Amino acid sequence: MSWGDVRGLLQYVPQFRGKVFVILVDAPVTALAETMLDLLSLQNIGVQLVIGSTVHSTDDLLDRAAEVELKYSQAVYSGGDSSVEAIGEALAALQRGQAVVADFHGSDAFSPSVAQFAVAIDARKLVLLHPADSMPAQGAIRAAGVNDSESPLILAAAKICDSGVPRVHILDGSLPAVLLDELFSNEGVGTMVYADSYRVVRPLREDDIVELLGMISRSVRNSTLVPRGYSDILANISDYSVMDIDGNVVGSVALHHYEGADMAEVACLYVKQAHEGLGYGIELVRHAEQQAQQAGAASVFALTNRAAKFFQQLDYRELPADQIPANRHEQLLASGRDSRVFAKVVSTP
């Protein structure tokens, strides 16, 4: 693992700290020891853990937890008991920094008792580590889009999301470090059913600006992007949108309008290196085009040195530079940049 990988992992620590995760350890017996080490890592960054299993006994879980020196409450909570007293005791243990061991033995993985317990303790994630042959990884699935053709596990996961647990993960429990690989990457390695916005293009917020500047700095340094300062972006913050994946900004785009012109500029297009090749740049450009159309612009244009092929694949055609809005053309000449102009019609009279 490189230091860059470590930096990527650290972005999740403040997101996860203090959150309740329910982990159903239905993985093979041979994977229990490593799973407990992964749970210890989560506890060490402040995740509040509820650990249970529908196939392994609570004694097995307690023994494994003790072997890795996981901090846990000695009391075993009945997964079927969602009374105020039981939930209060479980929450008190979590607040003390102890993991809670819940007895779900004999239940179905996503049974109503599991769902009720997870909702009652305000779990932000419910993770099932299942046997290898149960279900292939399917990536991210929005709960609202699940239909009756899906597998029973997916249907049950969607119902749990509808009940109030934002994310339900289904993982191959036989894979080494699968829990950490799933939680500490934006793309994941298993199946995640989600109720909230997992990947969304949203307006830039003021508290995103420093993140944006850091993200695009490499492209600014090598002259791929025009230099921008904090005050410049803040003054035009409504022009900017970012792609947010699981709370992390991974891409950006801006749409600049020019007074008296029916052409808008697609600018500040950037996707983090770790997320290149996944179609996010296309999604950001489409978002800007839709904004331009809604604002009444007839066309959009982009200035680029290195992304000509990318824009041509999106049906942009090259134009002489003097066909863009006059004030933008003057800025381009003054900058000394030899950018090419690519434009696309987004609405017709």
What does the DSSP assignment read for 53-115?
ESSS-HHHHHHHHHHTT--EEEEEEETT---HHHHHHHHHHHHTT-EEEEE-TTS-TT-HHHH
Strands lying side by side in the sheet with 248-257: 199-203, 240-245, 248-257, 263-271, 299-304, 340-345, 317-319
Whether residue 3 is predicted with pLDDT greater than 50 in this model: the reply is no
**How much of the chain exceeds pLDDT 90, in percent?**
55
Give mean pLDDT, residues 28-51: 93
Residue 139 — left, alpha, or beta (φ > 0 → left; ψ -120 to 50 → alpha)? left
Task: Given CATH 3.40.1160.10, say whether it is the number of domain 3-196.
Answer: yes
Residue type present at position 262: D
Higher pLDDT, 221 or 171: 171
- Residue pair 193/154 in contact (Cβ under 8 Å)? The answer is yes
Give mean pLDDT, residues 259-264: 93
Give mean pLDDT, residues 256-274: 93
Q: Give the whole-angstrom CA distance, residue 97 versus residue 92.
A: 9
User: Which CATH class for the 200-345 domain?
Assistant: alpha beta
Higher pLDDT, 139 or 202: 202
Predicted pLDDT of residue 134: 58
State the burial class of residue 287 (Cβ atoms within 10 Å of its Cβ: 0-12, 13-18, 19+).
middle
Tell me the per-residue pLDDT of 132-164, one tens digit each, with 9 for 90 and over: 665 667 788 888 788 887 888 899 999 999 888
Predicted pLDDT of residue 182: 92
Q: Give the whole-angstrom CA distance, residue 318 versus residue 321.
A: 9
**Local structure of residue 343 (DSSP, 8 states):** E
Predicted pLDDT of residue 78: 78
Closest CA to 77 of 93, 60, 64: 93
Q: Which residues contact 7 (CB under 8 A, 6 or more apart)?
A: none
Whether residue 4 is predicted with pLDDT greater than 60 in this model: the reply is no
Predicted pLDDT of residue 325: 96
- Residue pair 119/159 in contact (Cβ under 8 Å)? The answer is no
Higher pLDDT, 275 or 136: 275
Of 124-138, 283-297, 305-319, the range with the lowest mean pLDDT is 124-138
Of 140-149, 162-171, 219-228, the range with the lowest mean pLDDT is 219-228
Predicted pLDDT of residue 87: 87
Predicted pLDDT of residue 5: 59
Average pLDDT, the chain: 88
Q: Give the whole-angstrom CA distance, residue 254 versus residue 28.
A: 49
Q: Give the whole-angstrom CA distance, residue 102 versus residue 56.
A: 11
Same fold yes or no, 3-196 and 200-345 = no
> Where are the domains positioned within the chain?
3-196, 200-345
- Residue pair 54/25 in contact (Cβ under 8 Å)? The answer is no
- Residue pair 51/102 in contact (Cβ under 8 Å)? The answer is yes
CA angle 343, 344, 349 (to 5 degrees): 125
Q: Is this model's pTM higher than 0.75 or not?
A: no
Helix (H) or strand (E) holding 284: helix 280-294
* Pairing status of strand 167-172 against strand 125-130: parallel
- Residue pair 44/12 in contact (Cβ under 8 Å)? The answer is no
Residue given tokens 């109030």 in the structure block: 164
**C-alpha distances in Å from residue 42, one per residue of 49, 102, 221, 277:** 8, 18, 37, 30
Predicted pLDDT of residue 1: 46
User: pLDDT tier at 180 (50, 70, 90 boundaries)?
Assistant: very high
Predicted pLDDT of residue 141: 84
